[in-house]
């Protein structure tokens, strides 16, 4: 009996997982098609504009042909001759340069051998005579052109020249043609846009229907299982309760309890070896805590028990992190690094990837557009297609932060973001952190040793030492706390000296 209940509970949890996965899938697809709409409308506009441009160019060429026939050919000839003669002059110049180089090399050889100026003068004379011969060639070319032009004028005398009225008529006809064509293309474009928007909306509506269906089912099932949900107080986004992480005998984190409020910048300070990075590893489930609770209030305002998540599912709740020793993938380009960060936003499976089906192209387009926006935000657009291999440290740091933004963050964890930056760069970083918090409406946790940055940027600071909490509070409170001064900051008298 107990076995049957256990099996039923297990199957139910698997069904709930399936429903949740379907809900995420359909949500992601609706937002994908919503974003795709913008991109595709741009594409339709581009294609239409290209068509119009081609038509206008074609008509311009027709008009130019007639214009030439009607014009005073001599004037036109002078104009184009200038350009053609310049091109011919360039060719002659190249031949001159070849001779000049030969002369230079001969002189270089000679100046070793004989010091008399005779040989050198001979070579210079040869070069000058070559230059003269090239000038003659140019004159011959000009003369030939003139003769050929006169001949062609004689041939053309028999043809009828179009009059000014004919030209005007042609121009008006072509302009009218341009306008009708533009109107036609624009009409088609509007029709295409309308059709696409309609079909897209229909598609989104269908997907939303399925989404609501699955959400309803999920709600029903969630009411059936007794979920012991923890109640987080309003405004608190992350709570660690009695967090302990022991590596064998080493107590890296020893009974730590703290709250992080929504939308604040939370700093974690302490001497080296205090367990700061271990705390972050526990939050992101890279190390499973030995004991203690971790609760997160996610984007949907649900309370999630982080210890139940696998390490590769933590990003789905909106927790993203950077690493102390930048873990940027050096083998691929900067853009690819951001696309790797967006990995969980691709809902297509392995077979779609192997066959490059159209849905993958859609997803790629939308996610690449988003990546470009983030690169522009961070100021990395120049490095978009460069391999991350040889880039400077500051740029790699920015890539690391851009990666966290790519995953639509709810809680960003920065592990020593100011390591290796000088004072001015640290000030820039502080501004960047505030900008990110304001624009992406997320909470930021950071570990830092640079007290200037911490006191400047953090709203709430937690000081730990040897895995234990020393104090928590605002910058002023931490600075004046005796325990923190003793363990880490140093007492005021020492600073003055």
Residue among 64 and 376 whose Cβ is closer to other proteins? 64
Q: Nearest distance from residue 120's CB to other proteins, in Å? A: 17
Q: Of these, 61, 188, 288, 299, which contacts other proteins (CB under 8 A)?
A: 61
341 belongs to the binding site for other proteins (CB under 8 A): yes
Beta strand residue intervals within 209-368, DSSP E: 236-247, 250-261, 265-269, 291-297, 303-305, 319-321
Strand partners, 445: 266, 413
Nearest C-alpha neighbor of 22 from the set 241, 191, 214 = 214
* Tokens (6 digits) for 490: 């140093």
444 belongs to the binding site for other proteins (CB under 8 A): no
Q: Of these, 207, 407, 446, 461, which contacts other proteins (CB under 8 A)?
A: 407
**Contact mark string toward other proteins, 132..171, x via CB under 8 A:** ----------------xx--x--xx---------------
Burial label, 244 (beta-carbon count in 10 A; 0-12, 13-18, 19+): middle
130 belongs to the binding site for other proteins (CB under 8 A): no
- 274: helix, strand or coil: coil
Residue among 65 and 212 whose Cβ is closer to other proteins? 65
* Tokens (6 digits) for 374: 């983030």
Q: Nearest distance from residue 121's CB to other proteins, in Å? A: 20
Cα torsion through 394, 399, 401, 404, rounded to 10 = -170
Q: Nearest distance from residue 285's CB to other proteins, in Å? A: 9
Q: Of these, 30, 277, 278, 284, which contacts other proteins (CB under 8 A)?
A: 284
Distance (Å, whole) CA 150 – CA 83: 19
Q: Of these, 1, 94, 108, 300, which contacts other proteins (CB under 8 A)?
A: 94
291 belongs to the binding site for other proteins (CB under 8 A): no
Residue among 73 and 293 whose Cβ is closer to other proteins? 73
Distance (Å, whole) CA 366 – CA 35: 6
Distance (Å, whole) CA 330 – CA 344: 21
223 belongs to the binding site for other proteins (CB under 8 A): no
Q: 3-class secondary structure for 152-203?
A: HHHHHCCCCCCCHHHHHHHHHHHHHHHHHHHHHHHHHHHHHHHHHHHHHHHH
368 belongs to the binding site for other proteins (CB under 8 A): no
Q: Of these, 25, 323, 377, 386, which contacts other proteins (CB under 8 A)?
A: 323
**Contact mark string toward other proteins, 68..87, x via CB under 8 A:** x----x--xx-xx--xx---
Q: Nearest distance from residue 312's CB to other proteins, in Å? A: 4
Distance (Å, whole) CA 469 – CA 478: 12
Span from 6-14, 187-195, 221-229, 353-361 in contact with other proteins (CB under 8 A): 353-361
Q: Nearest distance from residue 339's CB to other proteins, in Å? A: 6
Residue among 314 and 433 whose Cβ is closer to other proteins? 314
Q: Of these, 6, 42, 104, 288, which contacts other proteins (CB under 8 A)?
A: 104
Lookup result for tokens 């990837």? 353
Q: Of these, 25, 258, 346, 377, which contacts other proteins (CB under 8 A)?
A: 346
Contact 380, 402 (CB under 8 A): yes
Phi then psi for residue 124, to 5 deg, are: -65, -40
Q: Of these, 122, 197, 311, 382, which contacts other proteins (CB under 8 A)?
A: 311
Q: How many helices (H) does the chain have, and how many strands (E)?
A: 14, 10
Q: In what order do the strands lie in the sheet with 303-305?
A: 250-261, 236-247, 291-297, 303-305
2 belongs to the binding site for other proteins (CB under 8 A): no
300 belongs to the binding site for other proteins (CB under 8 A): no
Burial label, 90 (beta-carbon count in 10 A; 0-12, 13-18, 19+): exposed
Q: Measured between alpha carbons, how far is residue 397 from residues 318, 323, 367, 414, 424 in Å?
A: 20, 9, 22, 11, 15
343 belongs to the binding site for other proteins (CB under 8 A): yes
Residue among 89 and 479 whose Cβ is closer to other proteins? 89
Phi then psi for residue 487, to 5 deg, are: -80, -30
Q: Of these, 315, 412, 445, 458, which contacts other proteins (CB under 8 A)?
A: 315
Q: Nearest distance from residue 449's CB to other proteins, in Å? A: 21
- 417: helix, strand or coil: coil
Total residues interacting with other proteins, rule: CB under 8 A = 59
Distance (Å, whole) CA 485 – CA 101: 75
Q: Measured between alpha carbons, how far is residue 291 from residues 253, 257, 286 in Å?
A: 10, 12, 14
Residue among 34 and 76 whose Cβ is closer to other proteins? 76
Q: Of these, 336, 372, 416, 459, which contacts other proteins (CB under 8 A)?
A: 336
Span from 21-29, 200-208, 261-269, 351-359 in contact with other proteins (CB under 8 A): 351-359
Q: Residue numbers of the site for other proteins (CB under 8 A)?
A: 54, 57, 60-61, 64-65, 68, 73, 76-77, 79-80, 83-84, 94, 97-98, 100-101, 104, 148-149, 152, 155-156, 284, 286, 310-316, 320-321, 323, 327-332, 336, 339-341, 343-344, 346, 348, 350, 353-356, 360, 403, 407
């Amino acid at each position: 009996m107990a076995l049957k209940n256990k099996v039923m509970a297990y199957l139910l949890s698997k069904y709930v997982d399936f429903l949740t996965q379907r809900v995420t899938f359909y949500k992601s697809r609706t937002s994908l098609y919503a974003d795709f709409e913008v991109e595709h409308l741009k594409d339709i506009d581009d294609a239409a504009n290209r068509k119009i441009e081609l038509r206008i160019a074609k008509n311009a060429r027709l008009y130019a042909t007639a214009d030439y026939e009607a014009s005073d050919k001599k004037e036109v000839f002078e104009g184009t001759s200038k350009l053609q003669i310049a091109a011919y002059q360039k060719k002659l110049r190249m031949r001159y340069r070849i001779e000049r180089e030969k002369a230079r090399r001969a002189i270089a050889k000679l100046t070793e051998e004989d010091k008399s100026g005779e040989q050198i003068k001979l070579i210079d004379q040869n070069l000058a005579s070559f230059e003269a011969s090239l000038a003659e060639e140019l004159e011959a070319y000009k003369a030939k052109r003139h003769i050929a032009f006169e001949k062609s004028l004689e041939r053309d005398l028999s043809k009828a020249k179009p009059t000014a009225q004919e030209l005007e008529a042609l121009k008006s006809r072509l302009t009218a043609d341009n306008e009708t064509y533009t109107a036609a293309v624009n009409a088609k474009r509007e029709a295409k846009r309308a059709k696409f928007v309609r079909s897209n909306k229909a598609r989104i509506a269908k997907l939303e229907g399925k989404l609501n269906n699955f959400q309803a089912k999920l709600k029903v099932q969630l009411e059936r299982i007794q979920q012991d949900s923890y109640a987080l107080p309003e405004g608190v986004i992350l709570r660690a309760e009695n967090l302990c992480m022991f590596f064998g005998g080493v107590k890296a984190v020893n009974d730590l309890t703290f709250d992080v409020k929504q939308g604040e910048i939370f700093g974690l300070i302490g001497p080296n070896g205090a367990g700061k990075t271990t705390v972050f590893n526990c939050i992101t489930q890279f190390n499973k805590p030995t004991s203690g609770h971790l609760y997160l209030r996610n984007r949907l305002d649900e309370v999630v028990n982080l210890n139940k998540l696998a390490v590769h599912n933590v990003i789905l709740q909106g927790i993203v992190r950077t690493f102390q020793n930048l873990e940027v993938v050096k083998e691929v380009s900067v853009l690819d690094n951001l696309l790797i960060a967006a990995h969980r936003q691709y809902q297509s499976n392995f077979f779609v990837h192997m066959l490059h089906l159209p849905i993958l192209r859609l997803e790629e387009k939308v996610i690449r557009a988003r990546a470009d926006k983030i690169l522009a935000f961070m100021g990395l657009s120049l490095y978009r297609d460069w391999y991350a291999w040889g880039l400077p440290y500051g740029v790699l740091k920015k890539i690391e932060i851009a990666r966290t933004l790519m995953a639509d963050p709810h809680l960003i964890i920065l592990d020593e973001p100011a390591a290796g930056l000088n004072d001015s760069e640290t000030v820039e970083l502080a501004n960047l952190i505030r900008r990110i918090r304001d624009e992406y409406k997320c909470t930021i946790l950071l570990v830092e040793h640079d007290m200037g940055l911490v006191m400047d940027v953090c709203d709430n600071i937690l000081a730990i030492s040897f895995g234990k909490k020393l104090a928590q509070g605002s910058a002023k409170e931490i600075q004046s706390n005796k325990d923190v001064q003793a363990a880490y900051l140093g007492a005021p008298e020492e600073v003055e000296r």
